A and B are shown apart, each in its own frame.
Chain A
Amino acid sequence: MVIITLRFFICSAVLLEGGITATSILFEKYQVTDVVYESDTVTVFIAEHIYMSVKRIIKKILKKSICRDTFYSEVNILKSIKNPQIPTVYDVEEDAFAYYIIEEYMEGVNLHSFIEKNGVMSEEEATDIGIKICNIVSFLHCQKPIPILFLDVHPKNILINDDSERKIFLVDFGSSYYSNETEKRRILMGTVGYAAPEQYDHGRLDERTDIYGIGAVLYFLVTGRSCDSENILSLNFPQNISEKFRMIIMQCLAHDRDDRFQRVEAIATSLSRKYKSDDTSIQNEKSHIISIAGVDRRVGVTHVCLAFASYLSKQGCRILYEEANDSNHLRMIAGCEKLKYKNGFFYHDRLTLKPLYGEQINLPGDSDYIVRDCGMYSEKINDDSDTVVIVAGAKAWELDNSVAVCKKALNAGNVHILCNSSHKNEALSLWRKIGCVGMQVPALSKIFECCDSERIFFDELADSIGITKRGGAMHKKRTRFFRKFAEKARRNNSRHMGCP
């Protein structure tokens, strides 16, 4: 049975639960001094270590409300991360009725109390706090080997140290999960008004779920209100809040995860660049990303990418070809074709080409579409792409691998399959085995020029993705044609999976 657990915050100065009072001593070493939070199932105390004279936070969770695995999941996450803005776990205890986590005491008040006491923040203050929150959440998302999702970003889980530095701390990891374990959750956790739409059902959770929470917190900081996810379009901002800041919040709060910022760092960059005239970092988030990947190496992905990108640029679109694999082919091609180079980009006619750079290089192009050459297919490609195109071989020795990769990709979402084989029968064999019809790639001649047969092929591909020619400039249009096929293939796959 699935239930939604809502957090109701009641502060109390008198401890009555389980016989623990303000003078109680826990585990023979902690003297309880105060309560900071109390609900039906969780109580948080401030306690002082009798011998070391240091403050600690003791979080008591009743056993009837949580299973052992879930409790230790929070502990395991906290003990694996070390950050001055996240409390250190010192110990865990349990008795007949409850589990206890003993954590580092962080000086400060939660953002909710802070706003209640001091009033809403100015845009500058909210920007500063927002960037700090992004830095901590980004730290969690960058954990290796598996990113951590916080999944409950809201003002009562963020402490602010009200000195000149205004340090921020993130507390209460009770809803957190490793990103590959979110499907294990049995209870839906989150806080109404700050939880992303996908948290209200068994939708897949990822880093963008936390991005929604960050947007909701930013909204709270400048308005003093939480946002109801059903009324996103009618959020009321104070008049002194700039259009750019509103856009950042609205983008975080987009119902569809694909419309939100895709990385927490992008929010921080947008916030820090808010006052600069160059806002390509926000603009770039709106580019439609077409990721093209192969079932294996050497199936012709780079040739297809470059030819398609070149074709689109000649139709009047602003196209960026982005190399997202470590083959270094673009630089080699640039040398052979003597492409112009400026400020990190190569240029051929109207086409802009970006070679692979390190993750620290922030060089967004200004384009309507990004054709991303991903090399070999991996499931991560689906996460930040609007459209995925798979290039598959259909020769006898390639078929099994092609079928396996195509089926995996089709399960993930909006995917188009291209068969890089000149023989019609081989292509038909591939479509039969994967349960949907794709497109057969013609023999491509030159990288940056199209003959008639190639132009027909690229016209069809652009149309199937949803890019149609209109008056010389390409415009995206909705098409359900190929989505229906992909949906049918997914249903077929789920029925026939596992059959020889």
Chain B
Amino acid sequence: MQKKRDAIIVGIWGVHSGAGVTTLAVSLANYMQGFLNKKTALYEYNQKADFIKIYECFYGDESEISEGKFTLKKVDYFLKGSTDIVKLSQENYDIVIVDFGYSFTAIGEFIRCHYKIVVGSQEPWYCRKYEEFCEKLSDYNESDLWVHILATDEHEIKRIRKAYRVKAIRRPYIDNAYVIDKSLIQFFSYFFE
């Protein structure tokens, strides 16, 4: 009997609140399922409870969520506390995407993900947070499996790549996480194919 492979875990973590972690996580899940036809789970590992709002928007009364899980456009959404990452990775999924929010207390779990995506911005009121984050993680060996997705211009991206020796890329504009268009497909394909 063939042993089933564990799912690939993609962790997305935000340097600050409002960095766009959930939007990116939902878009990536829709890309994985809709475009690559991968069985995808999306796990909310933060306190923001955005997934409940997503459910209310599409389906209505949140009290009808069964066992902390619902399905939307063939992606399975798991609320915080309904399961854990290890258990999810052993279920029948190809990809598990974890929305870590922006709390640094979750960093331990984030480091253990196969792919690690850091989302941030270089606005003047946020750039110090990003620098602090890079300093804190300077001990970790960043590889191709780390990606920094930043809301800034190309000039700043080049500076960050040089200064921190990280794989940095400009964050695309996502006007609707449930409509994956050509530009988003090209963006995600760059990393995941």
- Taking a contact as CB atoms under 8 Å apart, the answer to whether B179 and A265 are in contact is yes
Shortest distance between the CB of A352 and any CB in chain B (Å): 13
Q: Within 8 Å CB of A359, what residues of B? A: 34, 73
- Taking a contact as CB atoms under 8 Å apart, the answer to whether B182 and A343 are in contact is yes
Q: Considering only CB atoms, which chain B residue lies closest to A278 in the complex? A: B182
Q: Within 8 Å CB of A83, what residues of B? A: 56-57, 60
Q: Within 8 Å CB of A344, what residues of B? A: 35, 182, 185
A82 at the interface (CB under 8 A from B): yes
Q: Considering only CB atoms, which chain A residue lies closest to B33 in the complex? A: A358
A9 at the interface (CB under 8 A from B): no
Given contacts A82-B56, A360-B30, contact A269 B35 (CB under 8 A): no
A187 at the interface (CB under 8 A from B): no
What's the Cα separation between A359 and B189 when bound, in Å?
Answer: 18
B181 at the interface (CB under 8 A from A): yes
Q: Within 8 Å CB of B67, what residues of A? A: none
Q: Within 8 Å CB of B35, what residues of A? A: 344, 357-358, 361
Given contacts A343-B186, A344-B35, A344-B185, contact A360 B180 (CB under 8 A): yes
What's the Cα separation between A142 and B182 when bound, in Å?
Answer: 24
What's the Cα separation between A265 and B181 when bound, in Å?
Answer: 13
* Interface size, A (range): 10 to 19
Q: Within 8 Å CB of A82, what residues of B? A: 56, 59-61
What's the Cα separation between A357 and B185 when bound, in Å?
Answer: 12
Interface string of B23-35 (1 = CB under 8 A from A): 0000000110111
Q: Within 8 Å CB of A362, what residues of B? A: 179-182
What's the Cα separation between A358 and B60 when bound, in Å?
Answer: 23
Shortest distance between the CB of B52 and any CB in chain A (Å): 12
B74 at the interface (CB under 8 A from A): yes
Within residues 139 to 193 of chain B, which ones have a CB less than 8 A from any CB in chain A?
175-176, 178-182, 185-186, 189
Q: Considering only CB atoms, which chain B residue lies closest to A80 in the complex? A: B60
What's the Cα separation between A358 and B31 when bound, in Å?
Answer: 9
- Taking a contact as CB atoms under 8 Å apart, the answer to whether A360 and B34 are in contact is yes
Shortest distance between the CB of B30 and any CB in chain A (Å): 4
Shortest distance between the CB of A406 and any CB in chain B (Å): 33
Q: Within 8 Å CB of B61, what residues of A? A: 82
What's the Cα separation between A358 and B185 when bound, in Å?
Answer: 13
- Taking a contact as CB atoms under 8 Å apart, the answer to whether A272 and B185 are in contact is no
- Taking a contact as CB atoms under 8 Å apart, the answer to whether A363 and B56 are in contact is no
- List residues of chain B with CB under 8 Å of any chain A CB: 30-31, 33-35, 37, 56-61, 73-74, 175-176, 178-182, 185-186, 189
